[in-house]
Amino acid sequence: MPRIAFLLVIILLQPGLAAAQQPASPAPAADDPFVWLEDVEGARSMEWVNAKTAATVADLSASTLYQPLYDRLKQILDSKDKIAYPEIIGNSLYNFWKDAEHERGIWRRTTWASYGTANPTWETVIDLDSLSKADGVTWSWSGADCFEPEFRRCMVALSRGGSDATELREFDLTTKTFVANGFKTPEAKTGTTWVDDSTLLVGTDFGPGTMTTSGYARIVKLWKRGTPLSAATTVYEATPDHVGAFAFNTNDGARRYLVIVDRTDFYHGILYLYDQHKTVKIDVPTDADLNLVQGQLVVYVRDPWTVAGKTWATGSLIAMPVTDFLAGKRAFQLVLQPGPRETINNVSTTRDYLLLNILNSVRGELRRYRFQNGRWSFDKVPAPDLGTVGVAATSAYTNRFFFTFTNFIQPTTLYATTEDGSVAEVKRMPAMFDATGLVVEQQEATSKDGTKIPYFIVHARDFKRDGNNPTLLGAYGGFEIANTPSYSTHTGAAWLERGGTYVLANIRGGGEFGPQWHRAGLKENRQRIYDDFAAVSQKLIADGITSPRRLGIRGGSNGGLLMGVALTQHPELYNAVLIQNPLLDMKRYNHLLAGASWMAEYGNPDKPEEWAYISRYSPYQNLKPGTKYPTVMFTTTTRDDRVHPGHARKMAAKMESMGLPFYYFENTEGGHGAGVTNAQVAKELALTYVYLWRQLGVEPKPTP
């Protein structure tokens, strides 16, 4: 799923806002007795949350498995042998790092030469533990945007307790201090980009009427140094029913461009170049992705695009000189048209190269393209096979870049390339779990409509197909996000190493086979995604891999919705259902936090014709009394300002009213995740694996 980094961060990773800033909701339905749990930090809500969480912790932590799992997972999270993934900023390499001594983490830097040694010398730039103590705020790191090419001043984003809402402060990399009287924004869902060293483009909550119904900024303003934010002048304004307006910058290696995007919905946006106080529309399809390299405008085509008398097919990557394009010409050249089982999973750039992460039958490779002598040519970057290749760090000022290789049982390895294109291994994560005797298979199930659905199985070489293997099945199925093999240290240490079998399903809705694979499950076709997941579950049972008694499922966010649907549509298939940070009430999802921004994926439940198909799968509405459900576990966080914690709360409360057993765990920190500190993450992980083993395996009884 090629997405330009700015859009991925803005739309996928930060689609929320603080609970206090959420869009106004309509009056709740009179027939929803649990709507009071949507009051995120209300006394009544938190009393319920604390009681259910305490009961879950007391029960699951009493297991003799809990402490060994917690200690092991905490040790892995704190390990100093982890890969310190670099970020290229100027002539230095930066890294954000957490361990036992740095609970909230440090932002640090080193030189290229030092990074290549066995023990790099790191210089701390920002210590979040010290900053949190000084400010009296539990800060979480949300990144930094540095002005280039000087790379001296940065806008540092600090998140309170891991939420998506951030406070932005100007920081000086030379003095390692926050700039006195520098740029600073109050806590909100805010985005900025540098115009020059004294000017920003900023989108934030400027006051009443300045946010969209999705909870994003709809106005982009020009903000001059030394003036208050209230004095910033409007550059662009989107309508309230759009997702939002965002500013960013991109660089083709020779020139830096300022761009404003008006996201009309999750998948469509109108792009404008901003220059000298003017905006010029970039006339490409609104669902296309753009990149710039070597003066070339590179376009990823999602819908067939006819331009200058030629039609470019879905999934094709085309390019032409950006100066010619802005002059009105449309003489595109083909860079790549993927084959029937291929897709371009990601696009990134260096100074001179276009880096394409290709999936071929959900197996990754990395290609390096260059425009020379009027045509595009490529070479394949040397990397291992049968796994996932990912670009870790690039810069528009060098052809050196970092990439990783990973699969289910091989520890992640970081590689670096040189200016001449040679590749060297930089760091290999040590084995974090014992993979001896584990094998990986790729198989297919046939969905209800005949579509072949691939899935990976990780299991012991000598396991028996007797239906007695504790099996954990995961999937996501949405937003054109591909689920690919990866080395999960907690799945390995807490599940595989203890004899569990793990399965990853590549169902529709994801990006494993390009835009068509995703769009096959949009809106009124959503049931296909859930049928795919059921088909994989049924195939595992039919093949004797597992049985309903031994089959558990796990998913978060959109994957949490998937788990909720699996629970309500096929409770007979599972004995454990782990639902994390989920959407579940699809009647009200578009009125909770950033939910309105996802209507292009799910549909609008306020329209009767769209609620007609949403209502058939919405888990909250389809939980039925008198049905035998497996014991479910819900996890979420109070600070999740992306997917409202009310989804998990209300579903659990409804189950409670029906006399159905469940576990419920809500962390007070963590945003749209499991926690901020390693201790918080390890606790939630340990609790969830105790739950899974209790439901699916043979759990030792707690000592009396």
> Which band of pLDDT confidence, cut at 50, 70 and 90, is reported for residue 330?
very high
> Would the pLDDT of 312 be above 50?
yes
* pLDDT tens-digit series, residues 596-619: 999 999 999 999 999 999 999 999
Beta-strand ranges (E) seen in 337-464 are 342-349, 354-360, 363-372, 375-380, 388-393, 402-406, 413-417, 423-428, 438-446, 452-460
* HEC profile of 597-655: HHHHHHCCCCCHHHHHHHCCCCHHHHCCCCCCCCCEEEEEECCCCCCCCHHHHHHHHHH
The SS3 of residue 131 is helix
- Flag the least confident range among 159-163, 569-573, 583-587: 159-163
In a domain, 324, yes or no: no
* pLDDT tens-digit series, residues 485-504: 999 999 999 999 999 999 99
| The pLDDT of residue 395 | 96
Domain around 510: 5-17+42-74+432-696
DSSP codes of every residue in 406-438:
E-SSS--EEEEE-TT--EEEEEEPPPSS--TTE
Contacts of 573 (CB under 8 A, 6+ apart): 534, 537, 538, 541, 548, 551, 566
In a domain, 394, yes or no: no
| The pLDDT of residue 8 | 33
Beta-carbon count within 10 A of 394 CB:
22
> Would the pLDDT of 357 be above 80?
yes
* HEC profile of 190-216: CEEEEEECCEEEEECCCCCCCECCCCC
- Please give the backbone phi and psi of residue 541, each rounded to the nearest 5 degrees, phi first: -70, -45
Amino acid found at 121: T
Give the CATH number, domain containing residue 517.
Answer: 3.40.50.1820
CB 663 within 8 A of CB 696: no
Vertex 114 angle, CA 111 and 120, to 5°: 115
In a domain, 703, yes or no: no
- Flag the least confident range among 24-33, 64-73, 378-387, 557-566: 24-33
| The pLDDT of residue 427 | 93
Token output for 703? 């000592």
Amino acid found at 188: A
Token output for 259? 């761009």
Helices (H), 435-526: 489-491, 515-519
| The pLDDT of residue 670 | 59
> Would the pLDDT of 253 be above 50?
yes
| The pLDDT of residue 386 | 80
> Would the pLDDT of 7 be above 50?
no
> Would the pLDDT of 403 be above 90?
yes
- Give the pLDDT mean for 691-704: 74
Gap between the Cα atoms of 183 and 166, Å rounded: 14
* pLDDT tens-digit series, residues 12-43: 333 233 333 344 444 455 589 999 999 999 99
Task: Report the number of secondary-structure helices (H) and strands (E) in the chain.
Answer: 15, 39
| The pLDDT of residue 337 | 96
- Please give the backbone phi and psi of residue 50, each rounded to the nearest 5 degrees, phi first: -65, -35
Residue whose structure tokens are 């998990």: 648
CA atoms within 13 A on the CB side of 51: 10
CA atoms within 13 A on the CB side of 441: 11
> Would the pLDDT of 593 be above 90?
no
* pLDDT tens-digit series, residues 61-115: 999 999 999 999 999 999 999 999 999 999 999 999 999 999 999 999 999 999 9
In a domain, 151, yes or no: no
Gap between the Cα atoms of 659 and 666, Å rounded: 21
In a domain, 167, yes or no: no
Q: Which residue has the higher pLDDT, 389 or 700?
A: 389
> Would the pLDDT of 245 be above 70?
yes
> CA-based diameter of the chain, in Å?
79
Structural domain total, the chain:
1
> Which band of pLDDT confidence, cut at 50, 70 and 90, is reported for residue 385?
confident
| The pLDDT of residue 674 | 64
Vertex 432 angle, CA 431 and 433, to 5°: 95
| The pLDDT of residue 6 | 32
Q: Return the exposure string of 164-177: e unless at least 16 CB atoms fall within 10 Å of the residue's CB, then b.
A: bbbbbbbbebeeee
pTM of the model: 0.90
In a domain, 530, yes or no: yes
Catalytic residue numbers read 557, 672
Gap between the Cα atoms of 343 and 363, Å rounded: 10
In a domain, 502, yes or no: yes
| The pLDDT of residue 699 | 65
Q: What is the mean pLDDT of the chain?
A: 92
Distance of CA 484 to the CA centre of its chain: 13
Kindly state the DSSP code that residue 494 receives in the 8-state scheme. I
In a domain, 82, yes or no: no
Amino acid found at 505: A
| The pLDDT of residue 23 | 40
Helix axes 66-78, 678-696, angle to 10 degrees: 140
> Which band of pLDDT confidence, cut at 50, 70 and 90, is reported for residue 640?
confident
> Which band of pLDDT confidence, cut at 50, 70 and 90, is reported for residue 675?
low
* pLDDT tens-digit series, residues 405-443: 999 999 999 999 998 889 999 999 999 999 999 999 999
- Give the pLDDT mean for 281-307: 95
